[in-house]
Structure 1
Amino acid sequence: MAFSPDHLAELNLLTLFGSSSAQEGIKVHQHSAPEDTVKAAERLHQKGLITQQDGGYLTSLGSEAVELAQKLQSILSSQ
């Protein structure tokens, strides 16, 4: 099964969160962020991965997802 454009937008947004601290959040500005990023934040919030519709902080499930996304990114980026 291929990643959909929505899934790719969600993965890209998750990789913007810092994995070193649970206190590092992000803010997706609805008026200036790309539409796919705004929608990705809304979906991640609905799925319980982030605390706010416009970013906020990672939930415990979100932290796990970021860790997995970073591992996948590392594997795909290796030579």
Structure 2
Amino acid sequence: MAKKEVTSKSAARSASKTLSSPATAKASKSAAASALSQRKAPARTTSATAAKAASKTLRDGRTAKDSKSAAGSALAQKSKTAKK
């Protein structure tokens, strides 16, 4: 079941800045792309790969505020799955 959330305008702006920066790491760009793709698409959710990249981005102390904002938005839109 998809979550009914979309990326906010400010998080989308942060994601755009993250994607346009040449110095941004691959994991940050992956998370930002996921967040940006969900800007006006409530049926879309973050994939497991993008969620892992977002988690890595949030844990990295060197990551810029814009990248962390986009990663947080992507991670918030990850669908919850039951563990067995």
Tell which has more relative contact order, 1 or 2 (C-alpha 8 A, sep 6+): 2
What's the TM-score, normalizing by structure 2?
0.30
What's the TM-score, normalizing by structure 1?
0.31
Structure 1 or 2: more helix by fraction: 2
